[in-house]
Amino acid sequence: MHKSGDKLRRVIVDLKERDRIVASLHADQVGGCHCGQSATLRKVTERFWWRNVTADTRDYVRSCAVCQKANPRNKSPPATLHPIPVHGIFHRWGTDLVGPLKETANGNKYIIQILSGDIVPLSKQKSHR
Ligand SMILES: [Zn+2]
């Protein structure tokens, strides 16, 4: 930004330099901030000017992949939880098939895991082999 008396002077930019300037002020490791459209536009227009500077800057920020990932408005809200009614022990089962794994001597190469979604209170814990 160049100030001469009370007048603000900005550099008028060549077509080839526009994307580089916006990218630098928006996303560079040094000086970039991944700020929103307005903040990036303010940074650009403090120093530079060209026809369509506002549209060019907003388009660039809108298409920035880093900002799109970070913007909370682009993420779907967390799903709501729905209680699952309990109808007694072993009422609901879940299964998971794992494999193929390294084949055993018996020719097995898959594991099936079967789970009950129940929580069962126990007074003692003991394992038997
Ligand atoms: Zn960004």
CA of 71 to the centre of ligand 1 (A): 9
More confident: 23 or 129: 23
pLDDT for 90: 79
Q: Report the 10 Å Cβ neighbour count for 64.
A: 19
User: Helix, strand, coil proportions of the chain in percent (round to 5)?
Assistant: 35, 15, 50
Mean pLDDT value of segment 97-125? 88
Distance CA 21, CA 12 (A): 12
CA of 48 to the centre of ligand 1 (A): 19
Asked if the structure places residue 11 within a domain, the reply is: yes
pTM: 0.51
Please report, rounded to a whole number, the percentage of residues in the chain having pLDDT higher than 90: 44
More confident: 4 or 9: 9
CA of 78 to the centre of ligand 1 (A): 24
Asked if the structure places residue 35 within a domain, the reply is: yes
CATH assignment at residue 41: 1.10.340.70
Please report, rounded to a whole number, the percentage of residues in the chain having pLDDT higher than 70: 93
More confident: 94 or 62: 62
Asked if the structure places residue 105 within a domain, the reply is: no
Asked if the structure places residue 44 within a domain, the reply is: yes
Please state whether beta strands 48-49 and 2-4 pair in parallel, antiparallel, or not at all (unpaired).
Answer: unpaired
Q: Is 94 helix (H, G, I), strand (E, B) or coil?
A: strand
Residues 6+ apart with CB under 8 A from 103: 109
CA of 27 to the centre of ligand 1 (A): 6
Structural domain span for residue 65: 2-74
CA of 79 to the centre of ligand 1 (A): 27
Asked if the structure places residue 126 within a domain, the reply is: no
Number of domains in the chain: 1
Query: 1 falls in which pLDDT band (50, 70, 90)?
Result: very low
pLDDT for 59: 95
